[in-house]
Structure 1
Amino acid sequence: MKIPSPILTLFIFLSPSLALANIETCLDSVCQGGEPLIRFPFRIEGKHAESCGYPGFIVSCTQNAQTLLNLPNWGPLKIQSINYAAQQLWVNDPKNCLPNRLLSLNLSASPFRAVYHQQFTFFNCSLNLEYLVSRYRPIACLSDSPKYVVFATPSPTAVGHLTSVCNLVATVKVPVQSPFYDQVMSSELVEDLRLSWDSPACGRCESHGGRCGFKSNDTFELDCSGVPSKGISRGARYAIAVCIGIPAMLCSFGVLSCICGWLKNGNHDRHWAHETVADFEALVGSWPTTVSGLDRPTIESYPKIVIGENRRLPKKGEKTCPICLSEYMPKETVKSIPECGHCFHAQCIDEWLPLNASCPICRTSPRKLPQPRARSSP
């Protein structure tokens, strides 16, 4: 049956739009301006398709546009911010009483864990309130100041004192931003909780500017798309510059040598020409014609470090690799040169040292490992 041309034209026009609508269901989204950006592995329930997010990462938007993360066995938490590259998020209680939620803390059925956690002991005190309030910081949303106050402390010293005058409520491991010190006698526990996830492992994709997601709707296999194409590996551009520059320089020397030879052996017998040729040949003979790097056993012997969550390196202040100029990320491997202690991405320095036998920062020349002696034949 022949399809009327107006209908065919309409179908052709709508087909790309339908495909685009399907793609747009997984676009980055927010509950409201100023709220955290939501994308894979998170998805907004009712707004994103199930294939747009990973199981356990369901987000909902409240009527007042709060972004809530629904955790099994613990209920909803307000998402304050998300770091997709570091695979971390910061949450708080939507009702502004986080200590009350911490008393029923349970992350066992969720994909999230604490980056740092610290043990807090809760006390309910009804005697000597003025004295205790002057010494410890009460939790306002749990306290009825005329009758009782509630304290939470990580300090063994404070625990020992409050145990003798107050009722112990519970001891809880709290996911904190960073561990408190013993001198912190009590805390209101109002700061955001810092959580992390291990699966899906999309941090490296995100840190390189890509977007993580499922390869297809019927599989949990991950795919990284949208990574800017560099064409060559990190640090390889330096090797290319060396490999191209040196032959070009040697070629120029060859051409100049031919010209000088022609001047020397030709009919130009002027005294100044002979002196110029001799001087130039002596200069060219003194220039190096090869670049000597380090051997592979020496490079492999250098110490390696796997970067932790705090991204600290032995030398303070080093946050980026001096070769590729990329920031160090957790779980990346760096390698240090023993003679000077400078650190680099392992891949970057492994490509640099075979071509340049010196540190890219301070130009220190590392020592080569002694070569094994060849056994003489009997």
Structure 2
Amino acid sequence: MQARVLEMSILLFLVFFPLLSLGHKLEGCEDSWCNNDGPVIHFPFRLSHQPKHCGYPGFELHCNNKKGTILELPSSIHLVIEKIDYVSQKIHLYDPDQCIAAKLPILNLSQSNFRNTDDPTVLFNCSAPFTDTNDGYLVPCLGSSGYQKHAVTSTLSLDFFLSGPRTKIHQYPYSDSTFGENMLQLNWPIPLCGNCEFKGIDCGLRDGTKLLETHCFNRTMTHKGTTCMP
């Protein structure tokens, strides 16, 4: 009889201990927002006030005084997150100062978890009138007296654009629309959580590993969405 009770006790422990462990692991990791219209924040992202186990290293976010969701990239570049696509693992950003073109030249994504797969763009000065077309974008925030700056995809023929009163400045690994529309789209290859998101289940760090391994799981606690206050 005692042996039977002991077996049942061990079985119950093995069943419920992982759930208790997971519940502790998720404490403070509820879905969050900087504002009601902003992107939902959960793993691999976390807000700065949440425990570190809520997110993957390098995915910390914070809310600014206008309740914008801020991602800090290398060289202290702060961009606002417009959208997070957790399934395709893409993030859409914009510059609150309305001149992302001024920040891109010093941005080095090799020092971050995020990558860009756009075709490169050539930036050049032009003294002649120019309007936005399918062949490029005017970048008004970089303009100067007597000159306008324009972004053109480098895969296009540049002979026309660089003839006459036009001077090539530099080539950058971002799309021409990034310069012209003040928007930047990046993806993150690691951690791989898109499959979990597609199935409608959660993704998080696996317990007891120092290798930053992730896995899919179902939460054992209710999502209590919280709004971050700056």
Shift of 1:221: 2.8
Give the 3 Å change call, closer, same or farther, for CA 216–90 of structure 1 in structure 2: same
Shift of 1:218: 6.3
Which secondary structure state, in structure 1, belongs to the residue aligned with residue 32 of structure 2?
A: coil
Shift of 1:24: 4.0
2:184 aligned to which of 193, 200, 216: 193
Instruction: Give the AA of the match of 1:152.
Output: A
Q: Structure 1: 5+ residue runs without aligned partners? A: 1-18, 181-185, 228-378
2:125 aligned partner: 124
* C-alpha distance after superposition, 1:181-220 (max 9, x if no partner): xxxxx98521532211111111111111111112337642
1:102 aligned partner: 104
Instruction: Give the AA of the match of 2:75.
Output: N
2:217 aligned partner: 225
Which secondary structure state, in structure 1, belongs to the residue aligned with residue 44 of structure 2?
A: coil
2:62 aligned partner: 60
TM-score normalized by the length of structure 1: 0.46
Instruction: Give the AA of the match of 1:210.
Output: I
Question: In 1, are the aligned partners of 2:137 and 2:180 still within 8 Å (CA)?
Answer: no
Shift of 1:29: 0.3
Distance 1:197 1:62 in 2: 23
Question: In 2, are the aligned partners of 1:209 and 1:226 still within 8 Å (CA)?
Answer: no
1:73 aligned partner: 75
Matched, 1:212 2:211: no
Instruction: Give the AA of the match of 1:83.
Output: D
Which secondary structure state, in structure 2, belongs to the residue aligned with residue 101 of structure 1?
A: helix
Matched, 1:140 2:140: yes
Distance 2:54 2:132 in 1: 52
Distance 1:223 1:137 in 2: 43
1:203 aligned to which of 173, 185, 194: 194
Question: In 2, are the aligned partners of 1:121 and 1:159 still within 8 Å (CA)?
Answer: no
Identity %: 31
Considering fraction of residues, name the structure with more strand: 2
Give the 3 Å change call, closer, same or farther, for CA 88–49 of structure 1 in structure 2: same
Shift of 1:38: 0.5
Which secondary structure state, in structure 2, belongs to the residue aligned with residue 122 of structure 1?
A: strand
Question: In 2, are the aligned partners of 1:99 and 1:190 still within 8 Å (CA)?
Answer: no
What's the C-alpha RMSD, in Å, of the aligned pairs? Answer: 2.9
Question: In 2, are the aligned partners of 1:139 and 1:187 still within 8 Å (CA)?
Answer: no
Which residues in structure 2 correspond to 1:337-376 (within 5 Å)?
Answer: none
Distance 1:198 1:142 in 2: 32
Distance 1:41 1:137 in 2: 34
Instruction: Give the AA of the match of 1:207.
Output: F
Shift of 1:149: 0.9
TM-score normalized by the length of structure 2: 0.73
Give the 3 Å change call, closer, same or farther, for CA 164–74 of structure 1 in structure 2: farther
2:115 aligned partner: 113
1:370 aligned partner: none
Higher RCO (CA 8 Å, separation ≥ 6 residues): 2
1:149 aligned partner: 148
Q: Structure 2: 5+ residue runs without aligned partners? A: 1-21, 220-230
Question: In 1, are the aligned partners of 2:73 and 2:107 still within 8 Å (CA)?
Answer: no
* C-alpha distance after superposition, 1:264-294 (max 9, x if no partner): xxxxxxxxxxxxxxxxxxxxxxxxxxxxxxx
1:25 aligned partner: 28
Question: In 1, are the aligned partners of 2:74 and 2:107 still within 8 Å (CA)?
Answer: no
Instruction: Give the AA of the match of 2:148.
Output: V
Considering fraction of residues, name the structure with more helix: 1
Distance 2:194 2:113 in 1: 15
1:167 aligned partner: 167
Give the 3 Å change call, closer, same or farther, for CA 213–21 of structure 1 in structure 2: closer
Distance 1:171 1:123 in 2: 9
Which secondary structure state, in structure 2, belongs to the residue aligned with residue 204 of structure 1?
A: helix
Distance 2:191 2:59 in 1: 10
Distance 2:29 2:193 in 1: 16
Question: In 1, are the aligned partners of 2:203 and 2:214 still within 8 Å (CA)?
Answer: yes
